[in-house]
């Protein structure tokens, strides 16, 4: 039996935040097929073994506990595997990441990207998010955020956000290089750790690339992919 079961769509997006922490913790996990997730998600809350609105949902097989909401899952997982040094900062970074995911999908696909809306986002809020993290990374000094030899939760969150985005959507990499070179380097160092590289290798040729759906199609279109 695996240590955990992760219910999520077969896309990187929010799932990679959890996968980064699971892989860094050298935990084992399985991911049920989409129809199992859809069946669980569409049951009435009172009939669900654990009531939840939307994936990710993580089941811990040692404790028997289920948890939804990416920030709660990350904090709980990282605490259990001793990956938390500065919980307030880490939660703040997770909330930042959630905001960026919300923004880059135009509120989970509520609207699709077109050339005009993308040009505005790519010239204003997206580079500002990059600059915000760049300033935090630079203030923490060289190396990982907490100064140790191993990436901890804050590093994993930054890498799951920025490396995943620019790796899966390569036309965005120059923007990150311009506005957040130290963050990009940190994210790359984290993503290249053997356990994380091995996890990512399983995704190399997979589609959807990033967030899936019509919003991914519109993103690829404005990015010329």
Residues that bind ligand GSH (CB under 6 A): 13-14, 53-56, 69-70, 98, 108
Tell me the residue ranges of DSSP E strands in 160-225.
none
Name the DSSP class of 66.
Answer: E
Give the C-alpha separation, 90 to 77, whole Å: 13
Q: Which helix (H) or strand (E) holds 211?
A: none
Residue whose CB is less far from ligand GSH, 41 or 189:
41
CB of 16 to ligand GSH, least distance (A): 11
Residue whose CB is less far from ligand GSH, 56 or 151:
56
Write phi, then psi, for 11 (nearest 5 degrees): -140, 160
Residue whose CB is less far from ligand GSH, 144 or 203:
203
Q: Is residue 9 classed as helix, strand or coil in its secondary structure? A: coil
CB of 46 to ligand GSH, least distance (A): 17
Residue whose CB is less far from ligand GSH, 50 or 135:
50
Give the C-alpha separation, 76 to 83, whole Å: 10
CB of 56 to ligand GSH, least distance (A): 6
Give the C-alpha separation, 225 to 218, whole Å: 10
Give the C-alpha separation, 27 to 161, whole Å: 20
Residue whose CB is less far from ligand GSH, 70 or 144:
70
Write phi, then psi, for 194 (nearest 5 degrees): -50, -45
CB of 180 to ligand GSH, least distance (A): 23
Give the C-alpha separation, 225 to 217, whole Å: 9
CB of 74 to ligand GSH, least distance (A): 9
Residue whose CB is less far from ligand GSH, 48 or 131:
48
CB of 42 to ligand GSH, least distance (A): 9
């Amino acid at each position: 039996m695996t240590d955990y079961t992760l219910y999520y769509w077969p896309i990187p997006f929010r799932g990679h935040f959890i996968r980064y922490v699971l892989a860094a913790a050298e935990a084992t996990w399985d991911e049920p097929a989409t129809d199992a997730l859809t069946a669980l998600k569409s049951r009435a809350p009172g009939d669900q073994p654990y009531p939840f609105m939307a994936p990710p949902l993580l089941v811990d097989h040692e404790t028997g506990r289920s948890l939804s909401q990416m920030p709660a899952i990350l904090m709980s997982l990282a605490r259990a595997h001793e990956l938390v040094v500065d919980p307030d900062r880490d939660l703040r970074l997770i909330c930042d990441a959630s905001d960026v995911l919300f923004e880059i999908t135009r509120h989970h696909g509520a609207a699709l990207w077109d050339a005009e809306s993308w040009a505005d986002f790519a010239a204003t809020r997206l580079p500002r998010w990059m600059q915000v993290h760049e300033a935090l990374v630079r203030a923490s000094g060289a190396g990982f955020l907490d100064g140790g030899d191993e990436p901890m939760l804050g590093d994993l969150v930054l890498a799951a956000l920025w490396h995943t985005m620019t790796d899966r959507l390569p036309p965005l990499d120059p923007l990150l290089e311009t506005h957040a070179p130290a963050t990009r380097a940190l994210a790359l160092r984290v993503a290249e750790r053997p356990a994380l590289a091995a996890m990512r290798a399983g995704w190399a040729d997979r589609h959807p690339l990033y967030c899936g759906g019509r919003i991914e199609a519109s993103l690829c279109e404005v990015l010329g992919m």
